C-alpha cells in the first residue's frame, strides 16, 4: 500500500490526526503549489514540510536562522529514524564539504542550513548537484525588510529558486502583517497557483491583560498567587533574570533562569527543571522560547515593554497551547515608555559607528582585507569592549546591526559538542592500525562506541566516556585525538561553548563598508512605527486587546474577545449591579476571616469568574483588601462606600 500523509504521521510521530490546517498545507505542497503557511506559535509548522518531504523523491532543504532550533529538529528527526543533518556557521570547511557530498549521494533526507550558508560558493555549487524535492523556508518573515527580524541573507533564496525552478517552496512563519506576506511571496518568486493558508491570530483561550503599576514585583507575586500553574516571566536584561528569580525564591516561588550568557549545560539544566515541573516559573530574556513545546503554560508575564507586537504575540502565545484558559500580562509604568523609546533609538546606530565597530573587529582578530570569508571566531564581548574602551550595550546593538546587514553572524550562545569523523577509509585505517600499534586501542574504542557512521559524517563524542573506557585521562585522550588529526587519519573538533562571530563576507575595507543606507533608514522608521503600535496597545483602555492584535495582522473582527482586561472592565460597567453584589459578598466573607481567592470563589460561586477576579483586583488596588504573608486576602479597614 502506498504511503499517505496520515500513514507517515503515524509511522514517525505516532499521531492519529493532524492539527488544524496542517493537512490542507501538506496537500497543497504535495500538489506542487508554492505555499505560504501562517500558523501560531506551537501550531506544528515543522510537520507541514517534514511529512510531504517524506513522500517526495529527493532531499528537503530547510532554511532556518536559529542554530539551536535546527539542531533540535535534526536530533528529533534522527530519533525517529529519519536521516537529517544541519550545516551552519561555526563548522569547519572540511566538515561542510563532506556533509554536502553525502547530501548529493542521497545519504540524508533533510538538510538544514542557516541563511548565511546561501552566500557560500561551495554550498551553491553542491546544491546544483542535488535532487531537491522541497525547499522549506522557516521564519519566512526574515526575508522581508518590513518584518521585525529582517535577515538580508534570506534574499539569496531567490538564487536557489533559479537553480531548481521546478522545486516546490513552502514558507512558514507565525507572524506576518499583510505587507510582509506580500513581500514573502514576491521575494521567493512564488509561481502562479500559489496558496496561502492562515490560521486566525485570535486566541480564544488567552486573556490579554495590561496592568499599570509602580510596584511590578509585588503585582507579579499577586498574579502568580491568583493564576496557578506553570509560568514564563520575560525581562529585558540578563542581570534582571537572576535578580528576579532570586527574589521569587525568597517569596517561596520556585524559579529557573535562562539567558544567552549562560553556558550550554546551565541553560539545559534550567530549561529541563522548568519543563519537568521542578521549577514553576522560568525567568528569561527573549533568548528563551523558540522550539519549546510545553502545553500547560498558564501565564506569560512581560516585566518590560516588548519592542513590537510581532515578538510580543509570539512570546505571549507560549501560554495555553493545550487550549485551556491562560493569561498574557504586561506590567508597566509610564517611565517604561521612555525606556522603550530610548532602547529602540539605541538599536539603530549611525553608519560611522558601524564602520568603527567593524574595523575594531578586524583589528581584534588581525584580519587582512579579503580574508576570513566563512570563518568563525570565539568572541568575548567584555574583553572586546575593554580592549577598545567601548560601552557593552552600544557594541552589542552594533554587532546585531552588522549581522542584519549580512556582514557577520553574531551568535551569543553558540554550542557545539565535540565531534569527529574518520578521513581514512576502512582499508587505509586498518593499515594505519597495524603500522601504529599505539593508536589501535583508541581506534577500536571509537568504532565500538560510534560505529560505521564515523566514515560518512561527523559524530558527537564524549571524551570522558572514551577516556574511562581506555583507563587514561581526558587530556591524554585529547592529545591522541589531536595527533590523529595532524596525521590526517581523522578530523577532531573539541567542544565549543560561548559567543561566536562568523564573517559571512570576506573582511571588507571598513571605510567602504557595503551597507544599504536607505534600507537602514527605512528599518529604523519601521522600528519606530512598530514601537508606537506596541505603546498604543499598552495604553489602550477602551478597545478589545484581541481586536487590536487582529487588526495589526490584517485580520478584521467586530467581535470582542470577552477575556481581556478591557472587555472585562466593560462588562463590569455593563453589569454594575452584579459587580456591586460581588463587592458586597467579598467584604462580607472577609469580615469573618481572611481567605484565599480560591476560597472566596468557592463560597461565592459567581456566574462570571473573570468579573469576580476583576473586582478583587480593584479592591486590592484601591487599598480595601491586601494579601497577608501566606497570601490570604484580608480587609485593611479602609472600605469606601459604593453608590
Tell me: the pLDDT tens digits for 564-598?
A: 999 998 988 888 888 888 989 999 999 999 998 88
**Which pLDDT score, from 0 to 100, does residue 482 have?**
95
**Selection from 395, 394, 406, 353 nearest residue 519 by Cα:** 406
> Grid coordinates standing for 57?
523523491
**Which pLDDT score, from 0 to 100, does residue 640 have?**
55
CB 40 within 8 A of CB 321: no
Residue limits of CATH 1.10.10.10 in the chain: 343-416+499-526
Q: Read off the pLDDT band of 417 (50, 70, 90).
A: confident
SS3 267: helix
DSSP alpha helices (H): ranges in 33-66? 45-54
CATH of domain 343-416+499-526: 1.10.10.10
Residues 558, 137: Cα–Cα separation, whole Å: 33
Q: Enumerate residues 6+ apart whose C-beta is below 8 A from 120.
A: 374
**Which pLDDT score, from 0 to 100, does residue 26 have?**
97
Residues 291, 440: Cα–Cα separation, whole Å: 42
For the ranges 62-76, 162-176, 228-242, 421-435, the lowest mean pLDDT is seen at 62-76
**Which pLDDT score, from 0 to 100, does residue 639 have?**
56
Tell me: the pLDDT tens digits for 21-37?
A: 999 999 999 999 999 99
Q: How far apart, in Å, do the first and last CA atoms of the chain sit?
A: 74
Residue limits of CATH 3.40.50.300 in the chain: 5-198, 206-332
**Which pLDDT score, from 0 to 100, does residue 638 have?**
63
Tell me which of 1.10.10, 1.20.120, 1.20.950, 1.10.3470 is the CATH number of domain 575-635.
1.10.10
Residues 319, 529: Cα–Cα separation, whole Å: 26
The answer as to CATH 3.40.50.300 being correct for domain 206-332 is: yes
- Mean pLDDT rounded to a whole number for the chain: 91
**Which pLDDT score, from 0 to 100, does residue 495 have?**
87
User: Which DSSP state fits 13?
Assistant: I
CB 534 within 8 A of CB 330: no
Residues 167, 59: Cα–Cα separation, whole Å: 11
Percent of the chain with pLDDT over 90: 70
CB 287 within 8 A of CB 258: yes
CB 594 within 8 A of CB 634: yes
**pLDDT above 60 (res 321):** yes
Q: Read off the pLDDT band of 152 (50, 70, 90).
A: confident
289-310: average pLDDT: 91
**pLDDT above 70 (res 642):** no
**pLDDT above 60 (res 452):** yes
637 vs 69, residue with greater confidence: 69
Residues 340, 72: Cα–Cα separation, whole Å: 33
**Which pLDDT score, from 0 to 100, does residue 40 have?**
78
Q: Kindly list the distances between the CA atom of residue 271 and the CA atoms of 74, 283, 294, 396, 487, in Å, as whole numbers in the listed order.
A: 19, 10, 11, 25, 40
Q: Read off the pLDDT band of 230 (50, 70, 90).
A: very high
Beta strands in 310-378 (DSSP E): 326-332, 376-378
Percent of the chain with pLDDT over 70: 99
Tell me: the pLDDT tens digits for 194-216?
A: 999 998 899 999 999 999 998 99
5-198 folds as: Rossmann fold (3.40.50)
**pLDDT above 80 (res 278):** yes
348-360: average pLDDT: 96
**pLDDT above 80 (res 41):** no
**Which pLDDT score, from 0 to 100, does residue 643 have?**
46
Amino acid at each position: 500500500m502506498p504511503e499517505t500523509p496520515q500513514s507517515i504521521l503515524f509511522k514517525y510521530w505516532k499521531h492519529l490526526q493532524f492539527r488544524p490546517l496542517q493537512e490542507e498545507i501538506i496537500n497543497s505542497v504535495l500538489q506542487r503549489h508554492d505555499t505560504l503557511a501562517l500558523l501560531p506559535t506551537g501550531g506544528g509548522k515543522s510537520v507541514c514540510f517534514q511529512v510531504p518531504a517524506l513522500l517526495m523523491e529527493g532531499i528537503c532543504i530547510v532554511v532556518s536562522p536559529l542554530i539551536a532550533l535546527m539542531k533540535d529538529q535534526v536530533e528529533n528527526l534522527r530519533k525517529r529514524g529519519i536521516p537529517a543533518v544541519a550545516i551552519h556557521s561555526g563548522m569547519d570547511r572540511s566538515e561542510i564539504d563532506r556533509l554536502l557530498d553525502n547530501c548529493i549521494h542521497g545519504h540524508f533526507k533533510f538538510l538544514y542550513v542557516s541563511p548565511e550558508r546561501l552566500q557560500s560558493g561551495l554550498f551553491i555549487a553542491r546544491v546544483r548537484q542535488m535532487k531537491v524535492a522541497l525547499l522549506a523556508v522557516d521564519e519566512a518573515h526574515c526575508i522581508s525588510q518590513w518584518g521585525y527580524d529582517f535577515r538580508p541573507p534570506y534574499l539569496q533564496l531567490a538564487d536557489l529558486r533559479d537553480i531548481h525552478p521546478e522545486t516546490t517552496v513552502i514558507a512558514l512563519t507565525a507572524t506576518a502583517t499583510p505587507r510582509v506576506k506580500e513581500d514573502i511571496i514576491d521575494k521567493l518568486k512564488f509561481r502562479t497557483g500559489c496558496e496561502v493558508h492562515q490560521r486566525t491570530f485570535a486566541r480564544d483561550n488567552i486573556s490579554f491583560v495590561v496592568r499599570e503599576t509602580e510596584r511590578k514585583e509585588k503585582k507579579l507575586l499577586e498574579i502568580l498567587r491568583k493564576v496557578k500553574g506553570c509560568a514564563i516571566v520575560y525581562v529585558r536584561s540578563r542581570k534582571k533574570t537572576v535578580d528576579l528569580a532570586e527574589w521569587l525564591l525568597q517569596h517561596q516561588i520556585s524559579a529557573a533562569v535562562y539567558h544567552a550568557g549562560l553556558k550550554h549545560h546551565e541553560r539545559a539544566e534550567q530549561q529541563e527543571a522548568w519543563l519537568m515541573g521542578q521549577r514553576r516559573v522560568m525567568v528569561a530574556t527573549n533568548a528563551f522560547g523558540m522550539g519549546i513545546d510545553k502545553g500547560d503554560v498558564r501565564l506569560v508575564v512581560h516585566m518590560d515593554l516588548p519592542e513590537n507586537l510581532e515578538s510580543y504575540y509570539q512570546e505571549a502565545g507560549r501560554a495555553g497551547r493545550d487550549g485551556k484558559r491562560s493569561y498574557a500580562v504586561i506590567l508597566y509604568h509610564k517611565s517604561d515608555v521612555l525606556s522603550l523609546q530610548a532602547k529602540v533609538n539605541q538599536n539603530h546606530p549611525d553608519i560611522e559607528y558601524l564602520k568603527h565597530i567593524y574595523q575594531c573587529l578586524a583589528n581584534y582578530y588581525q584580519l587582512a582585507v579579503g580574508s576570513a570569508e566563512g570563518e568563525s571566531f570565539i568572541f568575548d564581548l567584555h574583553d572586546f569592549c575593554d580592549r577598545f574602551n567601548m560601552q557593552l550595550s552600544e557594541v552589542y546593538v552594533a554587532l546585531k546591526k552588522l549581522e542584519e546587514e549580512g556582514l557577520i553572524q553574531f551568535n551569543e550562545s553558540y554550542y557545539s559538542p565535540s565531534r569527529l569523523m574518520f578521513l581514512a577509509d576502512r582499508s587505509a585505517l586498518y593499515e594505519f592500525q597495524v603500522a601504529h600499534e599505539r593508536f589501535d586501542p583508541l581506534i577500536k574504542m571509537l568504532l565500538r562506541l560510534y560505529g560505521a557512521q564515523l566514515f560518512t559524517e561527523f559524530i558527537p563524542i564524549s571524551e570522558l566516556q572514551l577516556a574511562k573506557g581506555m583507563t587514561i585521562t581526558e587530556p591524554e585522550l585529547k592529545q591522541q585525538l589531536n595527533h590523529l588529526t595532524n596525521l590526517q587519519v581523522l578530523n577532531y573538533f573539541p567542544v565549543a561553548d560561548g559567543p561566536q562571530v562568523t564573517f559571512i563576507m570576506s573582511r571588507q575595507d571598513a571605510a567602504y563598508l557595503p551597507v544599504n543606507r536607505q534600507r537602514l533608514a527605512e528599518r529604523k522608521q519601521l522600528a519606530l512605527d512598530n514601537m508606537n503600535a506596541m505603546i498604543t496597545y499598552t495604553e489602550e483602555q477602551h478597545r478589545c486587546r484581541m481586536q487590536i492584535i487582529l487588526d495589526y495582522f490584517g485580520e478584521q473582527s467586530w467581535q470582542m474577545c470577552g477575556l481581556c482586561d478591557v472587555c472585562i472592565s466593560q462588562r463590569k460597567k455593563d453589569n454594575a449591579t452584579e459587580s456591586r453584589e460581588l463587592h458586597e459578598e467579598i467584604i462580607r466573607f472577609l469580615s469573618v476571616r481572611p481567605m484565599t481567592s480560591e476560597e472566596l470563589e468557592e463560597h461565592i460561586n459567581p456566574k462570571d469568574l473573570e468579573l469576580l477576579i476583576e473586582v478583587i483586583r480593584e479592591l486590592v488596588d484601591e487599598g480595601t483588601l491586601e494579601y497577608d504573608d501566606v497570601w490570604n486576602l484580608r480587609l485593611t479597614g479602609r472600605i469606601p462606600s459604593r453608590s
